[in-house]
């Protein structure tokens, strides 16, 4: 069994032979793994180029003594405004990080350490990304306790189940907006008052929702983590939105030059930040167009999938964002399916766990058995996916599933 989808292995081999990475892209390959990472919008890539070379604004945004620094600082300021607008926030509430993993670490560790006098209890769910689960696991080694709220059968975190998990000693609650494996949407607006009543801080992992849904519903959260590379921006940059006074409380996790109100030291990567800002603007401008496009593709893919026997949608078909679809094919190993598909890039769970053969912790948390989890694949798509690609992928999946079942029999 290979650790990586064949597509990746193939392209790296042809890379080594044929030279520049730009020649690697297989023209016939179909990319349906947008939940792992999105391509950078070409307009965003052009913007980023303006902040690198000697004829661009390459200066250190912290250099207050010359125009090179001012130009970079100005670009960072506009990007901060763009990301704040996306999150229905104020620019000063945005803290740049290296991605959502770092934002989540800062949010959870920073808030737990800040509030340890008030309690030692953290609440999250079993459906979270590893960045959340492993940050809270680390906090447990520091004397904190974690409760994982159980989702209902559809993968939804209900008010009832959250209430049962909350205690007077709860200081931080972390929930995701849109699940990266099933696309299930959590009704943050309905849960937020419960967290507030309890006196705890609410952090929302909004990575997968940022490019797909309005962030207005989650704006009441104290902290929000997002990542540029899941919203048509570059990898290696993200942001933590920290509300009002909490900024003075949060305990920094990286120490140094005191950038970002001392909450995240380190020279700001102007090109990355400008890229994320531009990506955030495009997401807002194109929200309706992108959503309509993805909804149509989603219906199309569902129609293909529904023609295959022994298929089940994981999570909840209804309370799901279009563009993330997890399905299980009874009796078909996901790893075998992905290898046989070759030119269709999909995932058997989150990309972060695809190097392990362990079944997805999300699917197990939904109450599915190991067999179902190991026969599940995730299709995710977006702005640059075409109807033709969905049709070709749908036909190929159907053909391959049928063939694998015939061999298996």
Ligand X SMILES: *Cc1c(COP(=O)(O)O)cnc(C)c1O
Residues that bind ligand X (CB under 6 A): 99-101, 129, 131, 176, 180, 205, 207-208, 227, 230, 238
108 vs 176 by CB, closer to ligand X: 176
Structure tokens at 313: 């949608």
294 vs 332 by CB, closer to ligand X: 294
- Find the residue with minimal CB distance to ligand X: 99
Which DSSP state fits 379?
A: E
> Which segments of 187-336 are extended strands (E)?
201-205, 223-227, 238-242, 311-313, 324-329
Element (H or E) spanning 96, and its range? strand 94-97
**What is the number of residues in the chain?**
409
Residue 359 phi/psi, 5-degree rounding, is: -65, 155
Report the nearest approach of ligand X to the CB of residue 173 (Å).
16
Report the nearest approach of ligand X to the CB of residue 53 (Å).
26
- Give Cα separations from 375 to 77, 160, 348, 364, 386 (angstroms): 46, 31, 8, 12, 26
129 vs 271 by CB, closer to ligand X: 129
Report the nearest approach of ligand X to the CB of residue 240 (Å).
11
- Which of 149, 106, 128, 108 lies closest to 260, judged by CA? 106
Gyration radius from the chain CA atoms: 22
121 vs 378 by CB, closer to ligand X: 378
What does the alpha-carbon distance between residue 170 and residue 242 come to, in Å, rounded to a whole number? 19
Q: Which residues of 6-38 are buried (b: 16+ CB within 10 A; e: fewer)?
A: bbeebbeeeeeeeeeeeebeeeeebbbbbbbbb
Whether 352 sits among the annotated catalytic residues: the reply is yes
Element (H or E) spanning 401, and its range? helix 387-408
Report the nearest approach of ligand X to the CB of residue 380 (Å).
10
Report the nearest approach of ligand X to the CB of residue 208 (Å).
5
275 vs 394 by CB, closer to ligand X: 275
What does the alpha-carbon distance between residue 302 and residue 349 come to, in Å, rounded to a whole number? 18
Element (H or E) spanning 363, and its range? helix 361-365
Report the nearest approach of ligand X to the CB of residue 106 (Å).
12
208 vs 272 by CB, closer to ligand X: 208
Q: What is the dihedral of CA 243, 249, 253, 254, to 10 degrees?
A: 90
Report the nearest approach of ligand X to the CB of residue 282 (Å).
18
How many Cα atoms within 13 Å fall on the side-chain side of residue 395? Answer: 6
131 vs 219 by CB, closer to ligand X: 131
Report the nearest approach of ligand X to the CB of residue 227 (Å).
3
207 vs 365 by CB, closer to ligand X: 207
Tokens 């026969």 correspond to what residue? Answer: 375
What does the alpha-carbon distance between residue 142 and residue 252 come to, in Å, rounded to a whole number? 16
| Planar angle of CA 154, 133, 156, nearest 5 degrees | 15
What does the alpha-carbon distance between residue 194 and residue 69 come to, in Å, rounded to a whole number? 45
Active-site residues: which are they? 352
């Amino acid at each position: 069994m290979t650790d990586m989808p064949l597509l990746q292995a193939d392209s790296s081999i042809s890379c080594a032979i044929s030279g520049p990475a730009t020649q690697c892209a297989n023209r016939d390959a179909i990319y349906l793994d947008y939940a792992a990472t999105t391509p950078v919008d070409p307009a965003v890539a052009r913007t980023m180029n303006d902040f690198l070379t000697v004829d661009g604004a390459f200066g250190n945004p912290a250099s207050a003594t010359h125009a090179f620094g001012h130009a970079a600082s100005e670009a960072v300021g506009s990007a901060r405004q763009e990301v704040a607008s996306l999150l229905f926030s104020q620019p000063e509430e945005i803290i740049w990080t290296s991605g959502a993993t770092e934002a989540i670490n800062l949010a959870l560790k920073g808030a737990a350490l800040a509030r340890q006098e008030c309690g030692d209890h953290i609440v999250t769910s079993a459906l979270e990304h590893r960045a959340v689960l492993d940050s809270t696991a680390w906090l447990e080694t520091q004397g904190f306790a974690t409760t994982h709220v159980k989702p209902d059968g559809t993968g939804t975190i209900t008010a009832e189940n959250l209430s049962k998990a909350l205690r007077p000693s709860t200081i931080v609650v972390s929930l995701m907006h849109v699940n990266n494996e099933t696309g299930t949407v959590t009704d943050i607006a309905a849960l937020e008052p419960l967290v507030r009543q309890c006196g705890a801080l609410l952090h929302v992992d909004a990575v997968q929702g940022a490019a797909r849904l309005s962030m207005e519903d989650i704006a009441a959260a104290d902290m929000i983590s997002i990542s540029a590379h899941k919203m048509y921006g570059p990898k290696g940059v993200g942001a933590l939105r920290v509300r009002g006074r909490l900024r003075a409380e949060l305990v920094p996790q990286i120490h140094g030059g005191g950038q970002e109100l001392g909450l995240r030291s380190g020279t700001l990567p102007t090109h990355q930040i400008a890229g994320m800002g531009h990506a955030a603007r495009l997401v807002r401008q194109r929200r309706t167009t992108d959503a309509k496009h993805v909804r149509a593709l989603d219906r199309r893919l569902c129609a293909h999938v529904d023609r295959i026997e022994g298929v089940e949608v994981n999570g909840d078909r209804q309370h799901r964002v279009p563009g993330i679809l997890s399905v299980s094919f009874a009796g078909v190993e996901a790893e075998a399916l992905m290898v046989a598909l070759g030119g269709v890039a999909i995932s058997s769970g989150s990309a972060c766990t695809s190097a392990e053969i362990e079944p997805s912790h999300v699917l197990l948390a939904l109450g599915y058995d190991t067999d179902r989890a190991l026969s599940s694949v995730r299709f995710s798509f977006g702005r640059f996916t075409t109807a033709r690609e969905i049709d070709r992928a749908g036909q190929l999946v159907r053909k391959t599933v049928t063939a694998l079942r015939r061999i298996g029999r």
